[in-house]
Amino acid sequence: MGAEVVIEGLTKSFGRQTIWRDVTLTLPPGEVSVMLGPSGTGKSVFLKSMIGLLKPDRGKCVINGVDIVRCSEHRLYETRKLFGVLFQDGALFGSMNLYDNVAFPLREHTKKSETEIRRIVLEKLEMTGLAGAEKKLPGEISGGMRKRAGLARALVLDPEIILVDEPDSGLDPVRTTYISQLFLDVNTQIDATFLIVTHNINLARTVPDNLGMLFRKELVMFGPREVLLTSEEPVVKQFLNGRMDGPIGMSEEKDSATIAAERAMFEAGHHAGGVEEIEGIPPQMQPAPGMPVRQGAIRRKDRVMQILHTLPPAAQQGIIDSLSPEEQARYGVHPRRRDQQPTWDQTVETAPVTGHHGQLPQDQIAQLPRTGGRRRSDQGPGGA
Ligand SMILES: Nc1ncnc2c1ncn2[C@@H]1O[C@H](COP(=O)(O)OP(=O)(O)OP(=O)(O)O)[C@@H](O)[C@H]1O
C-alpha cells in the first residue's frame, strides 16, 4: 500500500511573497487525490515542497514518520526514494532513447544488473503502453507518449507516492482522458498514493477519490470528491464551470467592486463564458476491464463512510447514491427522496453535520482506515 502523507500548517513564501499558508491535509494511502487551483496559486510549488526541492517556511509534511521539512539531508534523500514524479513535459533526456531514459534511475540509484534492469524497464514500458518504442528518442514521439515515458520512468523504483504536475498540459481532451485512465490503472496495479495537480476540470470531476483547491494563498477545501463537486463556494463553482462570473479574475482574483460590476454585465446578458452550469457528481472513472479490484477504492469507501456524518448534506447524499443497494445495506444508510436528509441505521454513530468547508478534521482523515474509529461490526475490508 502507498504511503500516507500528512501535511500540517504548511506555509511557503518567496521573500515577501506568500505563496500559500497553513495548508493542512492528508493524502490517504493508495488513494488518488487532485489539487486544483487557478494559474499561479502555487500548485507546482506545493509539489516541489512535498519532495523537499523547496523548503517551506513553517509546518510539517510527514511521510512514514519523517517530517521532510525538518529532517536531515540523509533522511530527505532516503524519503525521496518513495516518490515518483511526473513533470509536465516528462522531463526526459533528449539524447537518450526511451529505454535508457526509463533505465536511468535504476542505473543511478541501484546496483541492479543490466538483465534485471531490462526486465523492469520492459515491464514499465509495457504498463504504460510503450512496448516496442524502446529505441525512440523523445523528439520522435508525441507529447502523450513522452508523458507516458515519464510515468514509466517514475515507476521503476517502485514508488509509494506518485506526484503528477499538470498531466493535461499540451494534450487534447481525448489524450488527457487516456492518460487519466492510465493513472487509475497504475494506481490499481501498484496501490501507490497519487497526487495530481491540474486545472483540468474533466479530470478533476471524474478521476480522483479526493479533491482539493488552492485559492487566495489558502487551501479552500480538501476532502472526498463529493464535497468539492457539490460545493456552493463561489470560487469552486466558478472554477468547475470555467466562467468569468466569480471571484477568480484575469490575474488571480478580483475585488468586490469588480465582481459586482461584472455581475451586472452578466445579468444584462453578456456571456460569462464556460459551458452551461454543470451540477452534481459524475460517476468516477474505473480501472480498465481486466484490472484487479482497486484496493484504494475499497479502503476509501470504508474511510469515507466513517466520516460521512461530518460532511455537508449534498456530499453525503452523493456518496450514498454512489453505493450499490448491498453496500447501502451493509453501511446502514438509505438513499433519500430529494426533500429528505440522508438517514442511517441506529447502529451507526452519527454526529451533526458541521459547517466546515470540506477540510476534514485531521484526526479523522489522517488516521483512517488504520486505527478505525467506531465501525459497524465486521465489515471486512469494506469493499463490494
Ligand atoms: N523559485 C521561485 N522563486 C520565486 N518565486 C517562485 C519560484 N517558484 C515559483 N515562484 C512563484 O510562485 C508562484 C506560484 O507558482 P506555481 O508555478 O507553483 O503556480 P501554479 O499554480 O503551478 O501555476 P500554473 O497552473 O500556471 O502552473 C508564482 O507567482 C511564481 O512566480
Q: Are residues 98 and 201 in the same domain?
A: yes
Q: Give tens-digit pLDDT for 214-224.
A: 988 899 999 99
CA 297, CA 303: separation in Å to the nearest integer? 10
Contact 62, 16 (CB under 8 A): no
Q: Are residues 150 and 102 in the same domain?
A: yes
Q: Are residues 136 and 91 in the same domain?
A: yes
Q: CA angle, corner 111, sides to 108 and 117, nearest 5?
A: 80
More confident residue, 344 or 336: 336
- Is residue 112 domain-resident? yes
CA 196, CA 34: separation in Å to the nearest integer? 5
- Name the least confident of 22-31, 272-281, 313-322: 272-281
Spacing, Cα 198 to ligand 1 middle (Å): 14
Strand partners, 13: 18
Is any ligand 1 atom within 6 A of the Cβ of residue 44?
yes
Q: Are residues 261 and 314 in the same domain?
A: no
Q: Are residues 86 and 164 in the same domain?
A: yes
Q: Are residues 89 and 190 in the same domain?
A: yes
Spacing, Cα 227 to ligand 1 middle (Å): 27
Number of folded domains that form the chain: 3
Spacing, Cα 83 to ligand 1 middle (Å): 21
Q: Are residues 109 and 152 in the same domain?
A: yes
More confident residue, 239 or 33: 33
Is any ligand 1 atom within 6 A of the Cβ of residue 371?
no
Residues 6 or more apart in contact with residue 144 via CB below 8 angstroms: 171, 175, 178, 179
Tell the residue nearest (CA) to atom 2 of ligand 1: 14
Spacing, Cα 330 to ligand 1 middle (Å): 46
Q: Are residues 209 and 335 in the same domain?
A: no
- Name the least confident of 23-27, 35-39, 135-139, 265-269: 265-269
Is any ligand 1 atom within 6 A of the Cβ of residue 24?
no
Which of 199, 215, 231 finishes a domain?
215
- Is residue 382 domain-resident? no
Q: Are residues 311 and 206 in the same domain?
A: no
- Is residue 355 domain-resident? yes
ipTM of the complex: 0.96
- Is residue 222 domain-resident? no
CA 242, 243, 246, 252 dihedral sign is positive
Q: Give tens-digit pLDDT for 86-116.
A: 987 768 898 999 999 999 999 998 999 999 9
* DSSP type of residue 233: -
Predicted confidence at residue 14, as pLDDT, reads: 95
- Is residue 167 domain-resident? yes
- Is residue 211 domain-resident? yes
Q: Are residues 300 and 204 in the same domain?
A: no
Calculate the dihedral angle through the C-alpha atoms of 149, 153, 155, 156, rounding to the nearest 10 degrees.
Answer: 130
Residue-averaged pLDDT of the chain: 83
Pocket probe mutation, ligand 1, options 19, 54, 168, 220, max atoms within 8 Å of Cβ = 19
Query: What's 313-331 look like in SS3?
Result: HHHHHHHHHHCCHHHHHHH
Is any ligand 1 atom within 6 A of the Cβ of residue 206?
no
Burial class (CB in 10 A: 0-12, 13-18, 19+), 47: buried
Q: Which three cell numbers stand for residue 186?
A: 497504475
- Whether 380 has a pLDDT exceeding 50, the answer reads no
Q: How many Cβ atoms sit within 10 Å of the Cβ of residue 316?
A: 24
Predicted confidence at residue 263, as pLDDT, reads: 76
Q: Are residues 89 and 186 in the same domain?
A: yes
Task: Name the 3-class secondary structure at 59.
Answer: strand
Can you give the residue range of the structural domain that contains 347? 295-365
The closest alpha carbon to 200, from 305, 286, 88, belongs to 88
Q: What is the CATH number of the domain that holds 185?
A: 3.40.50.300
Tell the residue nearest (CA) to atom 17 of ligand 1: 44
Is any ligand 1 atom within 6 A of the Cβ of residue 53?
no
Contact 126, 153 (CB under 8 A): no
Is any ligand 1 atom within 6 A of the Cβ of residue 39?
yes
Query: How many whole angstroms from its chain centre is CA 149?
Result: 20
- Is residue 374 domain-resident? no
Q: Are residues 148 and 261 in the same domain?
A: no
CA 88, CA 154: separation in Å to the nearest integer? 13
Contact 149, 92 (CB under 8 A): yes
